[in-house]
């Protein structure tokens, strides 16, 4: 088993090489997500704006809004914290220091207990539901206090039968992984 610092760059290289296949798996994964009871019942959904190597999220944002759901996006905060704020739409997003489009901060609009969080990552273990993120620890810190439903969409390149990286005590497992058969 590799440690996270060694595994992460190898996995990122795999993601870059398989970016087209990941995008191609997007519609089928999105369809499965939208068929889940958690998605259907959710009035508030936390998503991210995907990078080119991730599962496309723009169609999910549009589908959620079309279904009357309020979409929240993460805003990175000091001390590796996140605040979820309503998506102001592409024109209203600001690019973070990490190059990620985020909503502007407004304390009155923060919602840390949305109904459903679609959790991003770069690798997922189907046996334990362990997740490997980009390395900042933002989601694990947030999820440690989150009491709602967590789901992730797992394109084939991100799917591992068992974790090829160590799972630490502070790693928060995802409740439901949506995979392609």
Residue 125 included in any domain: yes
Dihedral angle computed from the Cα positions of residues 139, 178, 22 and 119, in that order, rounded to the nearest 10 degrees: -10
Give whole-number Cα distances, 50 to 38, 61, 95, in Å: 21, 11, 13
Q: Which two tokens mark 107? A: 């304390």
The CATH code of the domain that includes 156 is 3.40.50.10420
pLDDT tens-digit readout, 149-178: 999 999 999 999 999 999 999 899 999 999
Asked if residue 158 is part of any domain, the answer here is yes
Assess if residue 172 is contained within a domain: no
Cβ–Cβ under 8 Å, residues 148 and 113: yes
Element housing 39 (H / E): helix 37-41
**Looking at the whole model, is its pTM more than 0.85?**
yes
Please report whether residue 122 resides in a domain: yes
Would you say residue 177 lies in a domain? no
For helices 19-34 and 58-66, what crossing angle results, to 10°? 20
Residue 181 lies in a domain: no
What's the domain count of the chain?
1
Quick one: pLDDT at residue 45? 98
What's the pLDDT tens digit per position in 27-37? 999 999 999 99
- Cα–chain-centroid distance for residue 155? 12
Q: Please report the pLDDT score of residue 164 as a whole number.
A: 92
| Rounded mean pLDDT, 57-67 | 97
> What is d(CA 65, CA 69) in angstroms, rounded to the nearest whole number?
5
How far apart are the C-alpha atoms of 79 and 107, rounded to whole Å?
A: 17
Any idea what DSSP says for residue 95? E
Cα-atom radius of gyration of the chain, to the nearest Å?
15
| 67 half-sphere exposure, CB direction, 13 A CA radius | 17
Q: How do residues 87-133 score in pLDDT, each as one tens digit?
A: 999 999 999 988 899 999 999 999 999 999 999 999 999 999 999 99
- Range of 26's domain? 4-166
Exposure on the CB side of residue 138, measured as CA atoms within 13 A: 19
């Amino acid at each position: 088993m590799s440690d996270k610092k060694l595994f992460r760059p190898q996995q990122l290289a795999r993601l870059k090489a398989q970016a087209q296949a990941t995008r191609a798996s997007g519609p089928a994964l999105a369809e499965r997500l939208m068929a889940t009871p958690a998605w259907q019942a959710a009035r508030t959904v936390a998503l991210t704006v995907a990078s080119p190597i991730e599962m496309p999220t723009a169609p999910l944002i549009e589908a959620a809004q079309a279904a009357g759901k309020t979409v929240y996006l993460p805003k990175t905060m000091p001390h590796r914290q996140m605040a979820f704020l309503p998506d102001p739409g592409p024109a209203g997003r600001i690019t973070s220091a990490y190059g990620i489009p985020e909503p502007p901060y407004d304390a009155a609009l923060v919602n840390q207990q949305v109904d459903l969080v679609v959790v991003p990552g770069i690798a997922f273990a189907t046996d334990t539901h362990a997740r490997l993120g980009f390395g900042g620890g933002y989601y694990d810190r947030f999820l440690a206090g989150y009491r709602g439903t967590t789901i992730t969409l797992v394109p084939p390149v991100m799917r591992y039968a068992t974790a090829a990286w160590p799972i630490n005590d502070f790693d928060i497992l995802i409740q439901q992984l949506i995979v392609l058969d």
